[in-house]
A and B are shown apart, each in its own frame.
Chain A
Amino acid sequence: GENVEQHPSTLSVQEGDSAVIKCTYSDSASNYFPWYKQELGKRPQLIIDIRSNVGEKKDQRIAVTLNKTAKHFSLHITETQPEDSAVYFCAASRFVHSYNTDKLIFGTGTRLQVFP
């Protein structure tokens, strides 16, 4: 079935360093890949997303890359700050207008800790 693997499960970095989280998806028909940040007990919040017709997208300190051939996508956070500490989830979905299956399949999450 559909599956998204995410690594690492925990990541500790020093403030100012970069952090990289990697995901692999199984459904080759997936075409939308969002990343969510979730603080304890709060809702997942979208921080960046990428569609399958794009290889890379950047928004200030956050960037996402997609390799469709390898079915890999990664989140890159530069100049990390203590407030970046949270759990990050990658997700994949298949969106086709005539097909109503666009549920998000989430990775297992990465707990990022940024030490001052």
Chain B
Amino acid sequence: AAGVIQSPRHLIKEKRETATLKCYPIPRHDTVYWYQQGPGQDPQFLISFYEKMQSDKGSIPDRFSAQQFSDYHSELNMSSLELGDSALYFCASSLRRQGHNEQFFGPGTRLTVL
């Protein structure tokens, strides 16, 4: 079965650079979520989109922005990167319109900021 796809899987950036992370949800899923997981931490919700509209916002810095496109893929744009942004970034998708709560996680993007 198709799963959530994330690219790139690994990314190394310098401080103050920008990064773009991509997420391709499971086909027909209508909701995308982004989570950030620091070393030894639990995943923290950043932002979500339902049917291409932002549906909820968590602890996402103003330096980050995200959107969901017409083909339902989503991108997380991160600017002015800081050392503290080094983390695993997970995208998850779900089928909200049918009342399915289960969120399926992608393999994650490991971002390292030097």
Q: How many A-B residue pairs have CB under 8 A?
A: 60
Interchain CA distance A93-B94 in the complex, whole Å: 13
Q: Which residues on A are within 8 Å of B, measured CB to CB?
A: 32, 34, 36, 41-46, 49, 51, 89, 93, 95, 97, 100-109
Let me know if B107 and A43 touch, CB within 8 A.
yes
From B33, B42, B102, B104, give the contact of A103 (CB < 8 A). B33
Q: Which residues does B use to contact A, with CB under 8 Å?
A: 31, 33, 35, 41-45, 48, 50, 55-56, 58, 88, 90, 94, 96, 99, 101-108, 110
Contact: A43 with B42, CB < 8 Å? no
Interchain CB contact under 8 A, A95 and B101: yes
Q: Is the interface of B mostly helix, strand, loop or mixed?
A: strand
Helix, strand, loop or mixed for chain A's interface? loop
What residues on A are CB-neighbors of B94 within 8 Å?
102
Asked if B43 contacts A104 (CB within 8 A), the reply is yes
